[in-house]
């Protein structure tokens, strides 16, 4: 049988049915399936005469309330960061003390260069990154609890109205929230969005959502420069990320990928009490990657940075004349207007492209702090003010997604055009925002 003939027959059938029903066959078929289901259910299921208002419905009256929804979402996020910091601070101190102890032993190792590699490079770099295990894992626990309990679906529902204003659907908010863990699975999660343009916009704005790998940068600098307002400062980073993501979505929708908003029913799964196993499994799914990265890519980069810091032979470790200093001095002028035109800041951002944890890893290796904290070393050696630190945090939040995220955007959009575009617009956005914050802030705080 000729396939073309079958397809022609199909078109005739569709035409015929359109004539009868005035509608597409697809709709009639779906209606009939639902009809079958409701027929079966009438037969096999008894519902109470009045649907009981479950406790889930009652909670929703408050949570997804038109006026309370967004303030509650912000309050829950703020509580999440406070929880993360309060609990993780002592744990971080213990891990830090542990590494200091090992680093002190490393000084005695001969030959000198090996002691330096272990003490300055590996412990200074990888050790610094590993110190951030507690806050990262605690944040992932908090996200897992919010997800498993059913709250995240509500957050998307609450944001639906706002998302519609910028030309996206509330569904696009779910990948955004997932981005707080890691942008890679978040970008993959956009495949549930059917409209290709909606999906593309959601992908493009996703890296603006602050992932777990950026958290060490905020914690480090917030503790050193804003000791009294740590939680608030870190919270503000996430908020800036969300606000800019929504603004960029608006811009992309208007000028880059115009189109109508798709129609979807947002679903609200019932609330469930999260189980401990479930929460731990989800925490581990996200956290595992952080540990693997620390052991592979970050360790590799840190050793490379140690090498660049020790070369040319005989140079003072990590001085301006070392190779890394020369590289840093080459790029640093770009960051002058942002307030952090020092070469150390420039190289750490440069290597942060490989993985955002590397920003603190690089600083750890360069400063190789023997006593006191890395944060105070940055404050004293770079003579940063809180304003500069804040501008730096904003830059680190917004600038180019990491290599792995870029590769994911390439895979998901199946072209190099969109990853290149994302890197470009984010670098520009980060530079402009950091410069604005620094230059305007300087008018007020000198």
Structure tokens at 8: 């022609």
Binding to another protein in span 182-201, by CB under 8 A: 188, 191-194
Distance CA 434, CA 337 (A): 8
Under the criterion CB under 8 A, does residue 263 sit at the interface with another protein? Answer: no
Under the criterion CB under 8 A, does residue 261 sit at the interface with another protein? Answer: no
Give the number of other CB atoms < 10 A from CB of residue 378. 27
Segment interacting with another protein (CB under 8 A) among 49-57, 78-86, 125-133, 220-228: 49-57
- We find the least distance from the C-beta atom of residue 40 to another protein, in angstroms, to be 5
Nearer CB in complex with another protein: 196/300: 196
Taking the alpha carbons of 323, 326, 329, 331 in that order, is the dihedral positive or negative? negative
Chain centroid to Cα 225, Å, comes to 23
- We find the least distance from the C-beta atom of residue 6 to another protein, in angstroms, to be 5
- Secondary structure (3-state) at 303: helix
- Secondary structure (3-state) at 48: coil
CA distances from 371 to 201, 290, 374, 377, 418 (A): 47, 26, 9, 9, 45
Under the criterion CB under 8 A, does residue 404 sit at the interface with another protein? Answer: no
Binding to another protein in span 269-288, by CB under 8 A: 269-270, 272, 275, 278, 281
Under the criterion CB under 8 A, does residue 23 sit at the interface with another protein? Answer: no
Residues 6+ apart with CB under 8 A from 446: none
Chain centroid to Cα 150, Å, comes to 20
If you search the block for the tokens 């990154």, which residue do you land on?
Answer: 129
- We find the least distance from the C-beta atom of residue 203 to another protein, in angstroms, to be 12
Under the criterion CB under 8 A, does residue 415 sit at the interface with another protein? Answer: no
CB 405 within 8 A of CB 184: yes
- We find the least distance from the C-beta atom of residue 58 to another protein, in angstroms, to be 13
Under the criterion CB under 8 A, does residue 18 sit at the interface with another protein? Answer: no
Distance CA 8, CA 11 (A): 5
Nearer CB in complex with another protein: 404/432: 404
Structure tokens at 71: 């303030």
Segment interacting with another protein (CB under 8 A) among 15-23, 289-297, 305-313, 320-328: 15-23
Nearer CB in complex with another protein: 258/270: 270
- Which of 97, 330, 334, 411 is close enough to bind another protein by CB under 8 A? 411
Contact set with another protein (CB under 8 A): 1-3, 5-7, 9-10, 13-14, 16-17, 20-21, 24-26, 28-29, 32-34, 36-38, 40-41, 43-48, 51-52, 54, 153, 188, 191-194, 267, 269-270, 272, 275, 278, 281, 408, 411-412
């Amino acid at each position: 049988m000729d396939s073309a003939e079958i397809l022609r027959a199909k078109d005739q059938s569709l035409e015929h049915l359109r004539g009868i029903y005035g509608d597409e066959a697809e709709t009639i078929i779906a209606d009939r399936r639902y009809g079958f289901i409701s027929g079966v259910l009438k037969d096999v299921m008894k519902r109470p005469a009045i649907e009981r208002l479950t406790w889930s419905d009652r909670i929703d009256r408050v949570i997804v309330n038109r006026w309370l929804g967004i303030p509650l979402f912000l309050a829950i996020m703020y509580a999440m960061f406070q929880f993360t910091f309060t609990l993780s601070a002592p744990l971080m101190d213990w891990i830090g003390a542990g590494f200091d102890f090992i680093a002190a032993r490393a000084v005695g190792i001969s030959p000198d260069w090996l002691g330096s590699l272990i003490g300055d490079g590996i412990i200074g770099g990888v050790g610094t990154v590993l110190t951030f295990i507690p806050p990262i894992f605690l944040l992932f626990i908090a996200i897992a609890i919010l997800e498993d309990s059913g709250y995240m679906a509500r957050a998307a529902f609450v944001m639906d109205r706002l998302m519609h204003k910028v030309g996206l659907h509330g569904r696009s908010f779910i990948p955004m929230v997932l981005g707080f863990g890691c942008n890679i699975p978040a970008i993959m999660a956009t495949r549930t969005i059917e409209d290709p343009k909606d999906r593309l916009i959601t992908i493009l704005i996703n890296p603006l959502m602050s992932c777990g790998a950026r958290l060490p940068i905020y914690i480090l600098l917030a503790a050193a420069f804003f000791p009294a307002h740590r939680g608030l400062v870190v919270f503000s980073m996430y908020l800036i990320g969300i606000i800019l993501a929504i603004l960029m979505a608006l811009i992309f929708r208007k000028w880059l990928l115009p189109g109508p908003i798709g129609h979807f029913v947002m679903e609200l799964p019932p609330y469930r009490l999260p189980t401990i196993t479930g929460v731990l499994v989800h925490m581990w799914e996200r956290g595992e990657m952080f540990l693997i990265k620390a052991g592979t890519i970050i360790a590799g980069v840190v050793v490379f940075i140690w090498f660049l810091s020790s070369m040319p032979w005989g140079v003072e470790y990590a001085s301006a004349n070392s190779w890394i200093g020369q590289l840093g001095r080459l790029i640093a002028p770009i960051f002058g207007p942002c307030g952090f035109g020092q070469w150390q800041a420039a190289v750490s951002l440069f290597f942060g492209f490989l993985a955002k944890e590397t920003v603190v890893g690089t600083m750890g290796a360069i400063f190789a702090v023997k006593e006191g904290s890395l944060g105070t070393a940055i404050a004293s050696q770079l003579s940063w003010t809180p304003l500069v630190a804040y501008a730096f945090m904003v830059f680190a939040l917004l600038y180019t997604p990491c290599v792995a995220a870029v590769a994911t955007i390439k895979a998901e959009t199946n072209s190099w055009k969109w990853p290149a575009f994302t890197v470009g617009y984010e670098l520009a956005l980060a530079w402009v925002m950091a410069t604005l914050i620094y230059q305007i802030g300087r008018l007020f705080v000198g």
